[in-house]
A and B are shown apart, each in its own frame.
Chain A
Amino acid sequence: MEPSTEYAAFEKKVKKTIYLDNLSPLVTEAVLQTAFNQFGTVKNVQFIPTHFASSGVYAALVEMQSVRQADEIVREMDDSPFMISGMPRPVRAQKAQIEMFDDRPKKRQRKIVCRWVDPSHANFEVAKKIKNLTKKHAAEASFLLEQQLAEEEKLHNQQSETLKANYKKYELIDGAQADGTAKRLATCYETKLHDF
């Protein structure tokens, strides 16, 4: 059975879409629109849920006009860090995947019907195996996620700590210079203050 035409269109759309994460909570649709309009034409922006929202990191899908533009952006952002909205880390980009879309159409027009299987049925063991395997994968994924969350949290704390400490230094120096003491002192010393 051939994939439906709707699905084919969707696949095209996926190819034109980039997945962004490490987005700041301050980022809005308009911000993304303008941010990416410099590389191409943004057709659609869609924010999607992520596991790392607890550490203040969001994700979005941005659909561009052409596949070329999407590829270009991914390469561009891989090359140089792209900062949006004062987030202390650059935004990451990769090509979107089919599974990222909540509203994806069915690939084939077919129906899935559930039914009970009797333990004596030949397929009973197979079904059970598959069921357990799925559960196992889920468990693994959740454990991995837990670890990642912990790491993400740590990273987040580290970054904000560094940022705060540096900002405090900046404020301190700014304070000392704002009241003109440094300048007056330089005059007394008869040294020239360089303005770097």
Chain B
Amino acid sequence: MSSSSSSEEDGGIITNSITNYHFLNHHKVPITFTDLPLHLTTTTTVTGDTSSAYLLGTTENSLQSVYIEVIGWKYDLSLDSPEVYVAKKSKNRDSECVRWIRLVKARSRYEVVVRSDLVFVKLLHYLKSCCEATRDEIASFLAKSCTSSSDVIESLKSYLADYVPLIRSAMENDKDLANSKYLETFLMEIDNPGETEIFHESFSCALKENQATKETKVIIYLNGCHCCEGQCIRSFHPTTDAGVDNYCESLGFENAAQYEAIPNFLCDNCKFQKHQCFACGMLGSSDKSTTAEVFPCVSATCGHFYHPECVAKLLYPSDETLAMKFKSQIAAGESFTCPAHKCHCCEQGEDKDVRDMQFAVCRRCPKSYHRKCLPKEIAFEDSDDGTIVQRAWDLPKRILIYCLKHTIIPSIETPRRDHLLFPCISRRRDQDGSKTEIISERRSKTYGNLKVSDTVKMPKVIERPHSTVNRGNFLVNDTVKMPNVIKKPNSTVTYGDKIPEKDKSSNMHEKVSSFEKNISNVRKPVQPSNMVPVKPPSKDMQSDQPLISKPVKKRVVSSPPRVDADMKARILNLMKDSTSSFDFEEFIREKKRRCTHQTGTPQTGLDKSITMGKVEASVKAVGRAWQILETGGSIEDAKAVCEPNVLNQLNRWKNKLRVFLAPFLHGTRYTSFGRHFTKVDKLREIVDRLHWYVQDGDVIVDFCCGSNDFSVFMKEKLDITGKKCLFRNYDLITPKNAFQFEKRDWLSVPVNTLPEGSRLVMGLNPPFGVNASLANKFIDHALTFKPKLLILIVPPETKRLDRKRSPYDLIWQEKSMLSGKSFYLPGSTDIQGQLIEDWNNKPPPLSLWSRPDWTTKHKAIAKERGHVKKTVAENCKALKKLYVGNLHKSEIGDEWLISVNLLVLIEVNASCVSLQVITTNCLILVRLELCRNDTIADVEMMCITENAFVVGCPDLVEIRVTECKKVTRKDRLRASRESLVIKLDHWFKMAYIVSSACHVFGTLSAMYRNTQFKTKTGSTSDSGVQEHVEEVPPAANDVAVTRPERVQLFCC
């Protein structure tokens, strides 16, 4: 669609491409082309910030300077290098034809402005050609493509965050981009905040960005925050080190191991169930079992508490009676959403997808603005004259602000940080001498309020530029001490008064918790002598005990030994030495390095950000949102309580938890290494089939050999048939039978270790992984060897080999061979002590793939040996119609569904495989109706349309899709064939429209001339063809596979 014509419609500019260009908006300010609307196809556009701009530059060939108004842009990724075009505004507005001008080179001074956008287009181009690219690969690509040092992109994610709407629409419109793994996960993360999003949670410290980061579009991710498990949904800087950068007081832990050891960390607020009212700042009890004073907002991601009267006042500032009523409702326990979920200005909710409707949330009080409603005093940067200080930070997922109520202190770039109030326990002697515990308050230390700088002794002040710390309104009364309570959430600034007890208590946590510790034990076993069950001489114990209680200093040689302080110290020291010599972080790194194909495994513990508080809040919010909808509330209200993201997030969390809990959910059934072996008899069956394809001198590679049975059987069989082959078996774990075994991760086997591809037969049962991710990796690695044959047991969702970059041909596929109990879990027994068998809900098909140049040979063998099943199509040459419906889902497989001219599939699990065969082979297929087929999704639809056009069905005129939930987009299916009608019904409707092609009308009528017509509607459709509805009893020459329950057919 590039500008092919160079007409001279206005001003005599003859040009296709402009160099030395730059863009100006109407105020003569430089802007980039991405501010313009993006034209993806002729019909779809993505709106930009401005509707038009002026392009200045010189034409590429004539060096004539130009000044053109442009109204849009597009990119072209199909060429070797990506091209960017802008659309010229045409003089007469009605004219449909848009003239596109190619951009060649930006003006050197303008390059800075446009560079990041150009890099983005380059990135899209790269991703289009390389959809498997991982994060690191992309980063290195970007590093390469950014030639000048100034535009090094430090954080890919935050860089891409600016382009989310563009990425979305680009992916919708480009199949290759839609396949990009990285973009997919990237968008998923954007859609599901909370996993990585830590910004919307109220940090005890304030968030800070410095000038430099703003320029490079890099945002400091607040590293390693520690989440409170309670209702407050907050995170805290755990260590003093992490806090220092942000002038945060932090929790004061010394290293990661210390806080990791706390299984369920609760901040003091949550621990004592005393939370601050977000409106007035006072502490109140939130304990519902007694008398609660403050109540949580019901919104899933809020986590703020309010006094009933405070929130009532905020919500109904003018109406006192309503406020009173509301207050009593809340006090009675009714849920509410706080004002932070409605814009302070226009009282509308948030829409995260629309830029203007995104919320900017004040971090100190319940106030939010839409981006568009933000008062101009709340600015994203300091103004030059110093009257306006930066109050807003535009983060990838949320804008955070400090509203005008709070005074910003320039030195820390936030308001004072004494806003947090923690309860803390103090022990005090009563008059009668008994100890009582009193809960008092402790305020986070302020950084502001500098004039009240009194002289409080600081045992340890970390040197910072702004270290004049003061205690501000420190509310702790004199008697308050903070003994045994581990020092918890304070906020901001240096870590002032260190509690002496802390060191001891932290010692308690030095032992790393949970699984990490386990692993550590594996690595560093306690001295064997301790593990040997030495029977402690009980007599000695008794005799020693009294001595323990009264340690004697002097030692007489002849006196029996005693456990004195000396010895204790010595032993404790020994223990400490042995534990400290173990580097926990190094160990985890080592383990991670070994996990070549796992991410976020339970080995490193569960994602700590899934806190109980968040889970509870989300679950509650879901319930409440539904309640709102049921009682007739608006969707807007429901969304304020529970954002759509929350639902997906719950799913993600559940999945993560399930993976983490797998060993316990399945209890005794859990398999040691989580392995999954194919049963011996099945392997023999496979060997019986496969050996026909193997030639003398081939090398048979089992890339995940498990028990190593396959190779052994294969060798037996080949020895009988007199073929001599070599074998290679790889796995991570040494099997019992180490026949030709090499302990090696398949993914690390280099290409040159195996002979050339035409001698290679590879495959079998790789680990599947979530969503076949591992299986895909194994296959991809196998493909680098270019084997002539690949035999695979992989789940159906694995990416098919005929859709790879270098496609392979399917020789045959057995869907049901491995159904039933075809697998066993090695090393696991059931209650009776029997080996546990296992089956998959969806049996993984066994398939044989051939390299294209070998396909004919292999296909011939398959045919000769009868490995390819005869299909309906081949057997019933005269078959014209086939009704399939209401059968048990598993009874009909792909092999069945081939060839007829009218095919109605109702509740049949057809997939790409059968549909591809159908659409490529059924030369006479005219109509295809898919009804209630859960397996049919967009991919399948694409498969149908593509194949039908290129090879298969010249006569196909209509595809009707009814109640197939996974089919979403009709626009993508339409493609180029005019005569094809695709009808997409989500709800079963009786009427439908038939193709406009008249000859089709003829064909169809001829086809049904034997059946009775019953006209239901006489109305004329747009195309001028009459709509009819008819009922067809299964005719004599039809094959009726369904039970003869009325099958509804539609025809004209």
Contact = CB atoms under 8 A, between A and B. Distances in A.
A76 B518 CA distance: 16
Given A38-B735, A132-B560, A189-B639, A82 B673 contact: yes
Interface in A151-196: 151, 154-155, 158-159, 161-163, 165-170, 172-177, 181-182, 184-186, 188-189, 191, 193-196
Contact of B263 (A39, A129, A158, A173): A158
A133 B563 CA distance: 13
Interface residues of A, number: 90
A109 interface: no
B989 interface: no
Interface string B559-593: 11111000110011001000000000000000000
B540 interface: yes
Contacts of A86: 663-664, 666-668, 670
B514 A162 contact: yes
Nearest to A84: B672
Contacts of B629: 185, 188
Contact of B827 (A34, A79, A181): A34
Given A48-B533, A165-B263, A185-B642, A173 B615 contact: yes
A35 B664 contact: no
A85 B515 contact: no
A173 B638 CA distance: 19
Interface stretch (A8-16, A110-118, A141-149): A141-149
Nearest to A26: B668
Contact of B532 (A30, A76, A78, A99): A99
B317 interface: no
B522 A185 contact: no
B410 interface: no
Given A158-B261, A162-B263, A167-B664, A185 B625 contact: yes
A170 B658 contact: yes
Interface string A123-139: 00000110011011011
Given A100-B532, A167-B664, A22 B521 contact: yes
Contacts of B654: 170, 173-174, 177
Interface residues of B, number: 95
Contact of B650 (A51, A139, A162, A173): A173
Nearest to A94: B525
Given A38-B826, A78-B522, A158-B513, A128 B558 contact: yes
Given A128-B558, A154-B511, A172-B616, A83 B663 contact: yes
A144 B571 contact: yes
A92 B664 contact: no
Contacts of B734: 39, 72, 76
Given A148-B526, A162-B513, A173 B736 contact: no
Contacts of B827: 34-38
Given A94-B528, A145-B530, A132 B558 contact: yes
Contact of A22 (B518, B639, B647, B661): B518
A8 B568 CA distance: 40
Contact of B733 (A39, A41, A59): A39
B532 A191 contact: no
B736 A38 contact: yes
A89 interface: yes
Contacts of A26: 668
B690 interface: no
B6 to A, nearest CB: 45
A21 interface: yes
A193 B652 CA distance: 10
B619 interface: yes
Contact of A88 (B261, B508, B623, B664): B664
Given A139-B540, A168-B612, A185 B736 contact: no
B537 A138 contact: yes
Interface stretch (B105-113, B828-836, B923-931): B828-836
A97 interface: yes
A177 B657 CA distance: 14
B644 A189 contact: yes
A105 interface: no
A56 interface: no
B612 A90 contact: no
A50 B533 contact: yes
Residue from A50, A76, A151, A172 whose CB has the most chain B CB atoms within 10 Å = A172
A138 B533 CA distance: 13
B142 to A, nearest CB: 28
B558 A186 contact: no
A170 B735 CA distance: 35
B672 A188 contact: no
B532 A193 contact: no
B536 interface: yes
Residue from B515, B572, B638 whose CB has the most chain A CB atoms within 10 Å = B515
Contacts of B770: 196
Contacts of A97: 528, 532
Nearest to B733: A76
Contacts of B522: 77-78, 81, 90, 92
A103 B418 CA distance: 69
Interface in B481-521: 508, 511, 513-515, 517-519, 521
Contacts of A49: 533
A96 B291 CA distance: 60
A94 B526 CA distance: 11
B647 A191 contact: yes
Contacts of A28: 833
B534 interface: yes
Contact of A175 (B557, B619, B663): B619
B953 to A, nearest CB: 31
A132 B561 contact: yes
B1046 interface: no
Interface in B605-625: 606, 610, 612, 615-616, 618-619, 622-623, 625
Given A22-B521, A92-B522, A162-B264, A147 B828 contact: no
A186 B508 CA distance: 46
B633 to A, nearest CB: 11
B638 A185 contact: yes
A138 B562 CA distance: 10
Interface in B901-933: none
A169 B615 CA distance: 6
Contact of A161 (B264, B615, B626, B736): B264
B47 to A, nearest CB: 21
Given A88-B663, A143-B568, A181-B623, A148 B530 contact: yes
Contacts of A196: 651-652, 655, 770
Interface string B227-253: 001000000000000000000000000
Which 3 A-B residue pairs are closest in the complex by CB-CB distance? A136-B561, A89-B518, A30-B833
5 contacts: A34-B833, A132-B557, A141-B529, A162-B264, A195-B651
Interface of A: 19, 21-22, 26, 28, 30-31, 34-41, 48-51, 59, 69, 72, 76-90, 92, 94, 97, 99-100, 128-129, 132-133, 135-136, 138-145, 147-148, 151, 154-155, 158-159, 161-163, 165-170, 172-177, 181-182, 184-186, 188-189, 191, 193-196
Given A162-B263, A188-B629, 19 more contacts: A21-B531, A34-B835, A50-B531, A50-B533, A85-B670, A86-B663, A86-B670, A88-B664, A97-B528, A136-B561, A138-B540, A139-B563, A144-B530, A144-B571, A159-B515, A177-B654, A191-B644, A193-B647, A194-B648
